[in-house]
C-alpha cells in the first residue's frame, strides 16, 4: 500500500457542544452522504470537541469510560470501517482520532498530551489536548484548544497560545514540540472575537444577513494577532466564507445578540515542507465550512478536509501473524507471529484479543504481554524473529469471529504493528 499511496485525506471537526448531549444525527457533519457519492473516504477523522459535559467528581470515570459524544461518533464511523485509535480528554476538551481499518497497522508512535491554562494553569476548563502520530513516513500533530472567552480578554488568549506551545511536549526527541512536526493542525474554540466595541451585535447581525462578511473579517482578532506576530503566526488559515459561528440562540439559526457574533471556531494548519530529501511535503485544503443546521449548541460546528503528501518509499516494518484455523473456548490457545525488518519486541508490547469488527483499540477482550514464548530466527529468513504467545483458558468465552492485534507500547508511545486475519472461536467438536 505504501508503494501506491501518495497522500492521506484527513477530515477535521471542531465543535463547542455547550454541555449538551448528542441529539442530532451526525452524518451531515461528517459529510458521509457526499463522501459516499465521491467514493473518496478520509483516511483519518479527527473530532475536536469543547465543553463536553464534565463534572469534577466524575473526572476519574471520564478518563475510563467514553463520553456520550465520543461514543456516538464512533457508532456512526464504525459502519464505514473506521476504528477509534486514540482519545485524549481534559475535562470538557475531547479529541478523538479515527482511522480507516486498512491503515491502522501503519500507525506508529501515537501519543496524547494536554496542557491546562485555566486559572493560571491550575484548572483544565481551558487549555489544549493533542494527538501526535507517525504514518507512512511522515508525522503529524493535531491540537484541540479552548481558549479564554470574552471580547476584552484578547491578551489572555495570546498568552495561552504561547503557553501551550512552550509547555506542550512529547516523548520523541525529534518531535518533542508541536511545531517540530511535519504537519500541524490546530483546531478548536479559539474564542477570538471582533476588534472594536464601536460595532454592536445588532450591526454585526445586519451585515451578516446582507452577506457582507469582508468588513467583519477585517476586524477578526485572530487575523490581527497573526499579522502582528503575537500568536498563531506559525500557522495558516484558508479564507473564511461562512457566517460567524457564535453566539446563537439554542435550537435556532438566529444569533443571540447578548453577545457580539464572531468566528470563534477555527481550523488552522502548518506544513514543514522541506524536511525530507525524497519528497516535498504539501497540504491541499478542499473545503472549510460551518454547519448551521446543527442547533443544539450556541456554537455552529466547523469542518475542513485536507490532503497531505506522504513518503511512499518508506517501509513500515511490523508483525505478521500466522493464519489461525480456529481457537477453542475454555482452552489455552496460542498464535505464532514474526517480526519483520527492523521491528523488535519490547517489554511493554502486548497482543490483544478483539472481536472481528472492533471499532476501538480500547475494545480488547483480554491481552497478554509478549515474551512468554520462545524466540528463534526462521531458517529461511534469518533476519526475522518468530515468537509464540499463549492465552489462558479463560480468554475465549463466547463463540464468534475474532482478531489479534499486536500493540507496541513504549511508555506513552503506542504503535499498531500487526492485525491477524479473522478466525473463529468455538467449542472443540466432541
> Phi/psi zone of residue 365: left (φ > 0), alpha (ψ -120 to 50 degrees), beta?
alpha
| pLDDT of res. 341 | 87
Residue 174's contacts (CB-CB under 8 Å, 6 or more residues apart) are: 180
Instruction: Give the number of other Cβ atoms within 10 Å of residue 400's Cβ.
Output: 14
pLDDT-flagged residues of the chain (< 50): 1-3, 57, 59, 62, 121-124
- Measure the CA–CA gap between 233 and 414, rounded to whole angstroms: 31
φ, ψ of residue 182 in degrees (nearest 5): -60, -45
**pLDDT tens sequence across 104-127:** 999 999 999 999 986 554 444 789
**pLDDT for res 119:** 55
Residue 399's alpha-carbon distances to 94, 331, 334, 359, in angstroms, are 35, 13, 17, 19
Grid cell at residue 224: 490581527
Output the pTM of the full model: 0.94
Q: Cell 454592536 appears where?
A: 200
| CA–CA distance, 179 with 175 (Å, rounded to integer) | 8
Interior CA angle at 12 toward 61 and 272, to 5°? 110
Amino acid at each position: 500500500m505504501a508503494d501506491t499511496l501518495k497522500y492521506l485525506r484527513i477530515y477535521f471537526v471542531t465543535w463547542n457542544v455547550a454541555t449538551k448531549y448528542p441529539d442530532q444525527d451526525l452524518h451531515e457533519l461528517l459529510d458521509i452522504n457526499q463522501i459516499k457519492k465521491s467514493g473518496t473516504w478520509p483516511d483519518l477523522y479527527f473530532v475536536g470537541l469543547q465543553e463536553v459535559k464534565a463534572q469534577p467528581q466524575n473526572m476519574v470515570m471520564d478518563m475510563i469510560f467514553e463520553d456520550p459524544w465520543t461514543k456516538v461518533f464512533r457508532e456512526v464511523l464504525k459502519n464505514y470501517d473506521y476504528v477509534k485509535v486514540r482519545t485524549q480528554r481534559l475535562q470538557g476538551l475531547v479529541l478523538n482520532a479515527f482511522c480507516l481499518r486498512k491503515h491502522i497497522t501503519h500507525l506508529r508512535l501515537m501519543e496524547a498530551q494536554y496542557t491546562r491554562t485555566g486559572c493560571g494553569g491550575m484548572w483544565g476548563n481551558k487549555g489544549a489536548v493533542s494527538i501526535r502520530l507517525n504514518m507512512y513516513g511522515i508525522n503529524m500533530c493535531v491540537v484541540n484548544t479552548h481558549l479564554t472567552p470574552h471580547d476584552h480578554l484578547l491578551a489572555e488568549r495570546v498568552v495561552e497560545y504561547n503557553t501551550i506551545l512552550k509547555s506542550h511536549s512529547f516523548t520523541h526527541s525529534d518531535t518533542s514540540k508541536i511545531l517540530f512536526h511535519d504537519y500541524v493542525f490546530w483546531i478548536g474554540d479559539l474564542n477570538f472575537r471582533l476588534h472594536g466595541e464601536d460595532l454592536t451585535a445588532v450591526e454585526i447581525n445586519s451585515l451578516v444577513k446582507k452577506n457582507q462578511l469582508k468588513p467583519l473579517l477585517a476586524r477578526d482578532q485572530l487575523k490581527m494577532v497573526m499579522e502582528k506576530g503575537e500568536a498563531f503566526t506559525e500557522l495558516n488559515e484558508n479564507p473564511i466564507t461562512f457566517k460567524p459561528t457564535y453566539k446563537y440562540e439554542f435550537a435556532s439559526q438566529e444569533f443571540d445578540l447578548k453577545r457580539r457574533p464572531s468566528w470563534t471556531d477555527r481550523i488552522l494548519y502548518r506544513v514543514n515542507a522541506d524536511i525530507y530529501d525524497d519528497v516535498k511535503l504539501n497540504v491541499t485544503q478542499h473545503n472549510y465550512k460551518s454547519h448551521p443546521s446543527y442547533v443544539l449548541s450556541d456554537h455552529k460546528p466547523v469542518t475542513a478536509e485536507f490532503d497531505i503528501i506522504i513518503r511512499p518509499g518508506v517501509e513500515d516494518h511490523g508483525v505478521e501473524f500466522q493464519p489461525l484455523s480456529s481457537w477453542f473456548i475454555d482452552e489455552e490457545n496460542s498464535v505464532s507471529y514474526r517480526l519483520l525488518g527492523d521491528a523488535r519486541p519490547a517489554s511493554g508490547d502486548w497482543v490483544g484479543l478483539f472481536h472481528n469488527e472492533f471499532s476501538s483499540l480500547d475494545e480488547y477482550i483480554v491481552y497478554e504481554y509478549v515474551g512468554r514464548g520462545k524466540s528463534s530466527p526462521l531458517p529461511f529468513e534469518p533476519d526475522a524473529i518468530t515468537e509464540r504467545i499463549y492465552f489462558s483458558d479463560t480468554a475465549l468465552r463466547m463463540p464468534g469471529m475474532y482478531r489479534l492485534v499486536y500493540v507496541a507500547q513504549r511508555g506513552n508511545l503506542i504503535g499498531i504493528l500487526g492485525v491477524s486475519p479473522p478466525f473463529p472461536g468455538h467449542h472443540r467438536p466432541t
